[in-house]
Amino acid sequence: MAPICDSTVEMGKLLSLNPTGADIMDGLRKGLSAGDIARHILDTYDGCDATVVERDVDDFIREMERRGFVEEVKDNDAPSPQEAGGQ
């Protein structure tokens, strides 16, 4: 999955995210998998249950896809970490 634009403003839509939602979208921009994003959240936020985080990340991504903010991409279509602003 990857965001379809660099910003929702380009789409003519406004999306307000809490810090966790922003972390998920940032991970998608970097080409991370849902599992990698969930691990990042578990490492970043204290007191999280891994099963709940994994489910919530998957649910969030599906909802963003349903709303048209992200789309599934083939591995060779995903941006490299450098293209996506990663390290």
Return the pLDDT at 8. 52
pTM (predicted TM-score): 0.73
6 contact partners, CB below 8 Å, separation of at least 6: 29
Q: How far apart are CA 87 and CA 85, in angstroms?
A: 7
**What is 30-45 written as a DSSP string?**
TT--HHHHHHHHHHHS
Q: Render pLDDT for 25-72 as a digit per residue (tens, 0 to 9).
A: 999 999 999 999 999 999 999 999 999 999 999 999 999 999 888 888
Q: Does the pLDDT value for residue 79 go beyond 60?
A: no
Domain ranges across the chain = 2-77
pLDDT in tens, 1-18: 666 555 554 455 667 889
pLDDT digits (tens, 9 = 90+) for 35-46: 999 999 999 999
